[in-house]
Amino acid sequence: MGVERRARATSGRLDLVPEGDVVLRTARRLHAALAGRLLEGCDLRWPSLATSDLTGYTVLEVRSVGKHLLTRMDGELPLTLHSHLRMDGSWHLHRTGSTFTGRPAEGVRAVLVTAAWTAVGHQLGMLDLVRTDQEDSLVGHLGPDLLDPSLDLEVAVDRLMADPDRQLGEALLDQRVLAGAGTLYMAESLFLTGLTPWSPVGDLASPERLVALLVRMMTQNTVRPVQSMTGDLRPGQQNYVHSRSGRPCRRCRRPVRVADIGQAPQQRPAFYCPGCQRGPAPALSRPRAGPQPHAR
């Protein structure tokens, strides 16, 4: 898959890129609809969970950890349904009994039915069911959650600076370092920091400022109708560089570029401005011409 195609896939078909802020919003919506409610029906369309039935369980809470969603339930024993949206996943709510037509039925991976609301998980990237006291087997590897209100900035900075030779973009995408940011927040925060994604972590003049910036950008977007990095909510005006390769930088007018960050097969698209961001960049990264359906 080419870098541009992966970039489009990263943007997703929806208006929202499923990074930590979107996952937190999803958790809030699901929690408001399901918490305290009895599951009257359940359909898990996932090979390893085909025989699992959560009917009769009561949803206790839905919360996010980084980009992971945890739906905690009580029944015969406390269980947690873990899901991850990856690039294209989403959860939708509709009134129980009404026909849901928002997404193709073949993409449905999970259905949780309460008397009032039905939650439908589409194109989920992961789905697991574990005892609640074993959640750590699924999320214990994560670094500090950038959207955790009790985030210790000092601990987060220490995690980021643990390997000063590592490329900044790779470190920010590594959920074991800091949990919640993906290609969108990595690209946009590094544009505002003025370093390319291939710069070593040790080049950061103020890692505290970068972590605080990430927290602020992501937190602001948990309450906005759309994700915006620029503060402008109009379509096409929301991002500085992400999904804007070939288009003029909003500051210096040079074409925004995109190139891979990370080692194959884990590489991801990294957007940057060669004028505004100093530091190394792959020699072959070129501005791309032509329309980009998900330019943001």
- Site residues (vs Zn ion, CB under 5 A): 249, 251-252, 273, 275-276
| Nearest distance, CB of residue 24 and Zn ion, angstroms | 30
| Nearest distance, CB of residue 14 and Zn ion, angstroms | 28
**What do you get for the CA distance between the two ends of the chain, in Å?**
21
Q: Is 18 a catalytic residue?
A: yes
Integer Cα distance of 97 and 81 in angstroms:
23
Catalytic residue among 25, 63, 67, 109: 67
- List residues bridging with 261 in a β-sheet: 268
| Contact by Cβ (8 Å): 46, 75 | no
Closest-by-Cβ residue to Zn ion is: 249
| Nearest distance, CB of residue 204 and Zn ion, angstroms | 19
| Nearest distance, CB of residue 104 and Zn ion, angstroms | 40
Extract the runs of DSSP E, i.e. beta strands, from 208-288: 257-261, 268-272
In the complex with Zn ion, the residue whose CB is nearer, 34 or 258, is: 258
| Nearest distance, CB of residue 126 and Zn ion, angstroms | 36
| Contact by Cβ (8 Å): 20, 180 | yes
Q: Which two tokens stand for residue 253?
A: 């007018």
In the complex with Zn ion, the residue whose CB is nearer, 34 or 195, is: 195
Catalytic residue among 72, 244, 257, 268: 268
Q: Which two tokens stand for residue 275?
A: 């004028």
In the complex with Zn ion, the residue whose CB is nearer, 181 or 249, is: 249
In the complex with Zn ion, the residue whose CB is nearer, 17 or 249, is: 249
Catalytic residue among 8, 18, 72, 288: 18
* Cα torsion angle, 107, 146, 231, 3, sign: negative
Extract the runs of DSSP E, i.e. beta strands, from the chain: 41-44, 58-65, 68-74, 79-84, 90-95, 108-113, 117-122, 126-131, 257-261, 268-272
Integer Cα distance of 57 and 42 in angstroms:
10
How many helices and strands in the chain, by DSSP H and E?
7, 10
In the complex with Zn ion, the residue whose CB is nearer, 115 or 252, is: 252
Q: Is 67 a catalytic residue?
A: yes
Query: Catalytic residue numbers?
Result: 18-19, 67, 268
